[in-house]
Amino acid sequence: MKTTTKNATTKSTATRTASKKATASAAAKKATAKTTTPKSMVKAKSSAADGLRELFEDGLKDLYWAEKALTKALPKMAKNATTPELVKAIESHLKETEEHIDRLEQVFKSIGKKAVAKKCDAMDGLIKEGESIMEETEIGVVRDAGIIAASQKVEHYEIASYGTLYAFATTLGEKEAADLLATTLQEEKDCDVKLTEIALASINVDAADEE
């Protein structure tokens, strides 16, 4: 009986020891995963967002910069367009863009943050591409078609951005922010539809006849 009891105690001790080692090993692996980055993955900056809220706020800063940049780019597009309907649509969207800036400031205020702009590389690139398209097209319907193409790329980027931020705000329980973002999102979609209608009504056909 003594031998049996001794063997049982030894087995119990061994089991506890193995369990402790397994727990320690799992903890070590978890810690290592947090401090090391596989070669195939991009290393995060020291200022990288570590939560959805920070990612949401970063997105707002990007979009705030993007909308401000557009208020400078749209007037140039309007001056280079020759089709009256297109000029009117661009000027109308310029007014909406100014409202979008005000609305974003309300979003920042609703989450208790100061409105800050952070350069948006994507929008910066799209605006530069738009300028390049104007330089590479003859004045008239061909350039108008190019302006619409550039404008719709901008609209699609904004639709994706506002849609994502709306989803983030909803998940974070920021209802006021979500409602404000949803309003702008719909306006961006409406603008995209309007540009398509203008292009299909005459500009694309007339531009094709220029060849």
Per-residue pLDDT of 174-187, as tens digits, reads 999 999 999 999 99
Instruction: Report yes or no on 29 lying in a domain.
Output: no
Give the per-residue pLDDT at 70. Answer: 98
Instruction: Report yes or no on 70 lying in a domain.
Output: yes
Per-residue pLDDT of 51-104, as tens digits, reads 999 999 999 999 999 999 999 999 999 999 999 999 999 999 999 999 999 999
Instruction: Report yes or no on 114 lying in a domain.
Output: yes
Which has more pLDDT, 54 or 42? 54
Give the mean model confidence (pLDDT) for residues 107-136.
97
Q: How many domains does the chain have?
A: 1
Reading the block at residue 187, the tokens are: 């306006």
Instruction: Report yes or no on 184 lying in a domain.
Output: yes
Give the mean model confidence (pLDDT) for residues 150-166.
98
Let me know: does 56 contact 169? Beta carbons within 8 Å: yes
d(CA 20, CA 190): 61
Main-chain dihedrals φ then ψ at residue 45, nearest 5 degrees: -70, 165
Instruction: Report yes or no on 87 lying in a domain.
Output: yes
CATH number at residue 74: 1.20.1260.10
Instruction: Find the domain containing 69 and state its range.
Output: 52-209
Instruction: Report yes or no on 180 lying in a domain.
Output: yes
Q: Is 124's pLDDT higher than 90?
A: yes
d(CA 39, CA 21): 29
- The average confidence (pLDDT) of the chain is 87
Map tokens 């078609």 to a residue: 145
What's at 197, amino acid-wise?
A: E
- For helices 175-198 and 84-110, what crossing angle results, to 10°? 170
- For helices 141-171 and 121-135, what crossing angle results, to 10°? 170
For the chain, what percent of residues have pLDDT higher than 90?
A: 75
Instruction: Report yes or no on 188 lying in a domain.
Output: yes
Q: Is 32's pLDDT higher than 50?
A: no
Instruction: Report yes or no on 38 lying in a domain.
Output: no
